[in-house]
C-alpha cells in the first residue's frame, strides 16, 4: 500500500525536528552571576589600587566607603593633571632652542645688499617738467611734498619708467666694487630695483626668474650676471642644491656665498652720492640708505635702512640669524607650531614664501580693496592691477599710516617661516682720510677733489666677524612619547594603572564571561541529539508498506509518547 505523500512529509519533518540541537538560553540572572563572580575576582587580583578594599565584604561598610571616596578623589585629581598635560601637548608642541651643531658661513649666502640714494631725482633730468603735468605730481610724491591734484591734467602714470629716467643709475652710484678680494664691474654686480625709497641698487638678490612667480618688475628685466656666474634657486630650507659642478669654483653660484671672515674677504664699496645734482631728499639729509636682507626677500629700505653719510668710511659687521626646524614637525598643525614650511603656502607675486614677502602681498591686497590700486613699489597680485595715480595719495597714506589693523590681520595669515635667514649689522664710522683716498682714487682712475670727497663720496665695508655661528632650532617641546610617559606616570602614581591593567579589564569584562557562557551551553546541550542523528531513517527507503503496517504506523503516529520509538520499517 502506498503511503500518502502528506503523511510522509509529516513523518520526515518530525524526524528532522528531533535531529536539531536544542540550544540552552542563558537568563539574565545567570549573566548577573557570571559578571558578579568576574568582578569579584578582578577586584581581588587587579593592580589598580583601592578596588580590593572596596570589594572586600569582610570590611566594615564605613571602611569600604572611605576607600571608595579616596579612589574618587585620586581619580579626579589624576584626570585634572592629565587634562593639563594634554593642553600643553596640543597648544605648545614646539620649543625654540640653540642648535648644537655650528653653522658655517661658507654654507650660507652673503646677504643681499640694497643701496639707495636719498636723492629722488637728478636736478637736470626734471628741470623741464611743467607744474601741471602728471610727471611733476609724481615727482612731488617721491619728494614727499604736497601735491595739487586739481592741476594734474592726466591720470596716466608709469611709475617705474619715470623713476628709472630721473634717478641716478647704478653705474654712477656704485663706482668701485670688491668682493672676496676680487674686483668686479659694479654695473654687472648691482642691478636697479624700485623700492619704497625710489630707485635703488641691489647685489646678491635672487635672479628674477627665481624671485617672482609670473610677472617680473620693469626694473628687473634684462638683468645679466657677471661672466661665469651661475644663478641658482636658493632657499633657506633647501640651501644650495648640488648641480653636478664644483660650487664657487670655475662657476661661482649666484647668490654668492660668503667668501670668508674679515674686511678683506667681505664686500667693499665706494659710493658717489653726487650732491651737486640733488633735487630733493626722501629725508632731511644727504647720503645713502643701505639695507641687508635675505636674497629671496624684497627689501624694506625706507623703514629698516641704515644711513651712510658722505665723507665717511663705514664698517658694517654682519651678524647672521638663522632658524631651522626639525622635519617631523610637518605633522604638527601649523597653528600650533606657529610657522610654515616652504611649500605649505604659495604666494601670488613672489615665488618664495617668507613672512616679509607674505606681509607685503597682504598689504598690497588691503590697498586694492580700499583704494582700488597699489603703490609703485608694492606687489601686483593681479594682471589688471593699476598703480595709484596722484589723486589717490590720501587713500594710500591713510592705509599706510593706519596699518595696525591690517598688519594684525596679515600677521595672523602670514606665519613665520620654519626655515629663515636674516642679517643684522653693527655700524662703525669715521671720516675718510684724504691722503689715503687720494692714493686709492688714483689707482682706479678717479679725479676727485678733497671737497668733493667730503660732500659726495662714501666708503662702506661689509664683512662677517666669525666663520661659524649657532642657529636657533625649533624642536618638539612635548612629543607623543613624552605625553604618553607623562600620562602613564600620573596613572601609575595615583592609581597603579598600566597597560596590563587594560588587558585585565578586557579579560574579565569580555573574554572570560563569553567563554563561561559558551561552556554552560555545551553542558546543557541534550545528549539524545547524537542518538537521533544515528537513528534517523533514510527517506529513500520509505516507499511501500503493507496495509497492516500502515495502520500500525498511523496509530503509533497519533500517540506522542510512542513517536520517538516509531520505526516504519
**What confidence tier does 438 reach under pLDDT thresholds 50, 70, 90?**
low
* pLDDT for 47 beyond 80: no
**Is residue 339 domain-resident?**
no
Residue 195 to residue 115: CA distance in whole angstroms: 10
Mode of pairing for the β-strands spanning 230-231 and 253-254: parallel
Mean pLDDT of 175-201: 89
Beta bridge partners of 468: 104
- The CATH number that applies at residue 221 is 2.60.470.10
pLDDT in tens, 511-569: 878 877 777 777 766 544 544 444 445 544 444 444 444 444 544 545 555 444 444 44
The residue with cell 600643553 is: 88
Both 78 and 190 in one domain: the answer is no
Q: Are 73 and 449 in contact (CB under 8 A)?
A: no
pLDDT in tens, 96-155: 888 889 999 999 999 999 999 999 999 899 888 888 888 888 888 888 888 776 665 555
Both 70 and 108 in one domain: the answer is no
Both 156 and 132 in one domain: the answer is yes
* pLDDT for 210 beyond 50: yes
**Is residue 60 domain-resident?**
yes
Establish how many alpha carbons lie within 13 A of residue 99's alpha carbon, considering only the half-sphere containing its beta carbon: 18
Q: What pLDDT is attached to residue 24?
A: 55
Q: Residue 91 to residues 84, 86, 88: CA-CA distances in angstroms? A: 11, 9, 5
Q: What pLDDT is attached to residue 245?
A: 42
Count of other CB atoms within 10 angstroms of residue 172:
14
Both 60 and 168 in one domain: the answer is no
Cα angle, residue 371 at apex, residues 368 and 372 outer, rounded to 5° = 50
Beta strands in 477-525 (DSSP E): none
Torsion angle of alpha carbons 276, 277, 279, 282, nearest 10°?
Answer: -90
Both 472 and 482 in one domain: the answer is no
**Is residue 346 domain-resident?**
no
Give residues with Cβ within 8 angstroms of 360, minimum separation 6. 298, 349, 350, 378, 379
Mean pLDDT of 259-288: 91
Q: Residue 361 to residues 218, 378, 553: CA-CA distances in angstroms? A: 18, 8, 101
Both 461 and 484 in one domain: the answer is no
Q: Residue 568 to residues 152, 180, 249, 283, 554: CA-CA distances in angstroms? A: 123, 116, 109, 124, 10
Mean pLDDT check: name the lowest of 69-73, 156-160, 286-290.
156-160
**Is residue 399 domain-resident?**
no
The residue with cell 580693496 is: 369
Q: What pLDDT is attached to residue 12?
A: 52
**Is residue 375 domain-resident?**
no
Q: If phi over 0 gives left and psi between -120 and 50 gives alpha, with beta otherwise, what is residue 445?
A: left
Both 81 and 228 in one domain: the answer is no
DSSP string, 441-482: HHHHT----HHHHHHHEEEEEEEES-SEEEEEEEEESS-HHH
- The count of domains in the chain is 2
**Is residue 113 domain-resident?**
yes
Count of other CB atoms within 10 angstroms of residue 568:
16
**What confidence tier does 353 reach under pLDDT thresholds 50, 70, 90?**
very high
Mean pLDDT of 407-415: 80
Both 489 and 458 in one domain: the answer is no
**Is residue 370 domain-resident?**
no
Q: What pLDDT is attached to residue 323?
A: 93
Q: Name the strands in the sheet holding 306-308, side by side, starting at the edge strand that comes first in the sequence.
A: 191-195, 198-203, 112-117, 288-293, 306-308
* pLDDT for 272 beyond 90: yes
Count of other CB atoms within 10 angstroms of residue 422:
17
Residue 288 to residue 267: CA distance in whole angstroms: 16
Both 254 and 128 in one domain: the answer is yes
Q: Which domain holds residue 489?
A: 49-92+478-518
291 is written with which cell numbers? 639695507
**Is residue 459 domain-resident?**
yes
pLDDT in tens, 293-347: 999 998 989 888 999 999 999 999 999 999 999 888 888 888 778 889 988 889 9
Residue 493 to residue 481: CA distance in whole angstroms: 18
Both 86 and 179 in one domain: the answer is no
Residue 295 — φ and ψ, nearest 5°? -60, -25
Residue 203 to residue 112: CA distance in whole angstroms: 6
Both 125 and 274 in one domain: the answer is yes
Query: Average pLDDT over the chain, rounded to whole?
Result: 80
- List the one residue out of 5, 11, 9 whose CA is nearest residue 554: 11
- Name the helix (H) or strand (E) containing 228: none
Both 164 and 284 in one domain: the answer is yes
Amino acid at each position: 500500500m502506498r503511503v500518502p505523500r502528506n503523511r510522509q512529509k509529516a513523518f520526515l519533518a518530525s524526524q528532522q525536528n528531533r535531529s536539531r540541537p536544542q540550544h540552552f538560553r542563558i537568563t539574565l540572572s545567570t549573566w548577573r552571576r557570571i559578571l558578579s563572580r568576574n568582578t569579584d575576582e578582578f577586584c581581588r587580583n587587579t593592580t589598580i589600587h583601592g578596588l580590593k578594599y572596596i570589594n572586600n565584604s569582610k570590611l566594615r561598610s564605613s571602611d569600604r566607603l572611605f576607600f571608595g571616596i579616596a579612589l574618587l578623589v585620586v581619580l579626579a585629581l589624576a584626570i585634572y593633571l592629565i587634562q593639563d598635560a594634554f593642553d600643553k601637548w596640543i597648544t605648545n608642541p614646539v620649543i625654540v632652542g640653540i642648535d648644537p651643531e655650528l653653522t658655517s658661513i661658507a654654507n650660507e649666502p652673503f646677504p643681499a645688499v640694497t643701496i639707495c640714494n636719498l636723492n629722488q631725482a637728478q636736478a637736470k633730468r626734471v628741470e623741464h617738467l611743467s607744474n601741471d603735468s602728471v610727471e611733476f605730481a609724481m615727482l612731488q610724491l617721491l619728494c614727499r611734498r604736497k601735491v595739487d591734484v586739481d592741476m594734474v591734467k592726466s591720470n596716466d602714470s608709469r611709475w617705474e619708467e619715470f623713476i628709472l629716467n630721473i634717478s641716478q643709475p647704478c653705474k654712477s652710484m656704485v663706482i668701485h666694487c670688491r668682493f672676496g678680494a676680487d674686483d668686479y664691474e659694479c654695473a654687472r654686480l648691482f642691478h636697479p630695483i624700485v623700492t619704497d625709497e625710489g630707485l635703488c641698487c641691489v647685489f646678491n638678490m635672487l635672479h628674477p626668474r627665481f624671485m617672482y612667480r609670473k610677472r617680473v618688475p620693469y626694473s628687473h628685466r634684462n638683468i645679466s650676471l657677471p661672466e661665469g656666474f651661475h644663478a641658482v634657486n636658493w632657499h633657506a630650507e633647501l640651501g644650495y642644491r648640488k648641480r653636478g659642478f664644483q660650487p664657487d669654483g670655475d662657476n661661482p653660484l649666484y647668490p654668492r656665498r660668503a667668501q670668508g671672515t674679515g674686511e678683506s674677504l667681505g664686500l667693499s664699496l665706494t659710493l658717489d652720492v653726487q650732491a651737486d645734482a640733488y633735487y630733493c631728499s626722501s629725508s632731511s639729509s644727504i647720503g645713502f640708505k643701505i639695507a641687508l636682507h635675505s636674497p629671496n626677500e624684497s627689501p624694506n629700505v625706507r623703514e629698516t635702512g641704515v644711513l651712510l653719510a658722505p665723507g665717511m668710511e663705514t664698517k658694517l659687521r654682519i651678524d647672521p640669524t638663522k632658524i631651522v626646524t626639525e622635519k617631523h614637525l610637518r605633522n604638527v598643525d601649523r597653528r600650533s607650531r606657529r610657522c610654515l614650511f616652504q611649500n605649505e603656502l604659495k604666494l601670488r607675486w613672489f615665488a618664495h614664501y617668507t613672512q616679509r614677502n607674505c606681509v607685503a602681498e597682504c598689504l598690497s591686497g588691503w590697498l586694492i580693496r580700499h583704494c582700488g590700486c597699489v603703490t609703485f613699489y608694492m606687489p601686483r597680485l593681479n594682471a589688471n592691477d593699476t598703480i595709484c595715480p596722484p589723486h589717490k595719495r590720501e587713500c594710500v597714506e591713510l592705509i599706510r599710516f593706519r596699518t595696525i589693523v591690517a598688519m594684525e590681520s596679515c600677521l595672523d595669515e602670514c606665519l613665520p617661516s620654519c626655515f629663515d635667514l636674516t642679517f643684522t649689522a653693527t655700524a662703525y664710522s669715521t671720516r675718510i682720510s684724504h691722503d689715503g683716498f687720494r692714493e686709492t682714487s688714483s689707482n682706479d682712475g678717479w679725479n676727485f677733489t678733497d671737497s668733493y670727497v667730503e660732500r659726495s663720496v662714501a666708503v662702506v665695508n661689509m664683512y662677517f666677524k666669525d666663520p661659524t655661528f649657532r642657529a636657533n632650532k625649533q624642536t618638539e617641546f612635548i612629543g607623543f612619547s613624552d605625553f604618553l610617559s607623562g600620562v602613564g606616570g600620573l596613572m601609575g602614581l595615583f592609581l597603579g594603572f598600566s597597560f596590563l591593567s587594560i588587558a585585565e579589564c578586557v579579560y574579565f569584562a569580555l573574554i572570560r564571561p563569553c567563554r563561561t557562557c559558551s561552556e554552560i551551553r555545551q553542558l546543557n546541550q541534550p545528549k539524545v541529539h547524537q542518538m537521533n542523528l544515528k537513528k534517523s531513517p533514510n527517506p529513500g527507503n520509505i516507499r511501500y508498506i503493507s496495509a497492516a503496517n500502515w495502520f500500525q504506523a498511523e496509530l503509533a503516529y497519533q500517540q506522542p509518547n510512542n513517536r520517538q520509538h516509531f520505526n516504519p520499517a
